[in-house]
Amino acid sequence: MTKCPDISGLQFSKPSKEAIEDIQRIRELGNLLTSVVAGSTVVKIFSSYGVRTLEVAYNISSYEWAAWAQAMGSIDYLEKARVQRIAYLHLLDNKTTLTTEEVKFWEAVVHGCH
pLDDT at 61: 54
Q: Categorise residue 50: left if φ over 0, alpha if ψ from -120 to 50, beta otherwise.
A: left
Asked whether residue 1 is assigned to any structural domain, the reply reads no
Asked whether residue 92 is assigned to any structural domain, the reply reads yes
Task: Summarize pLDDT for 14-35 with one digit per residue, the tens.
Answer: 999 999 999 999 989 888 888 7
C-alpha atoms less than 13 angstroms from C-alpha of 63 in its C-beta half-sphere: 18
* Number of domains present in the structure of the chain: 1
- CA dihedral sign of residues 89, 94, 100, 105: negative
Amino acid (1-letter code) at residue 3? K
Cβ–Cβ < 8 Å for 97, 14? no
Question: Who has greater pLDDT, 79 or 2?
Answer: 79
Q: Containing domain of residue 25, as a range?
A: 14-111
pLDDT at 95: 86
Task: Summarize pLDDT for 29-83 with one digit per residue, the tens.
Answer: 888 888 777 766 666 655 655 555 555 555 555 555 666 677 777 788 888 899 9
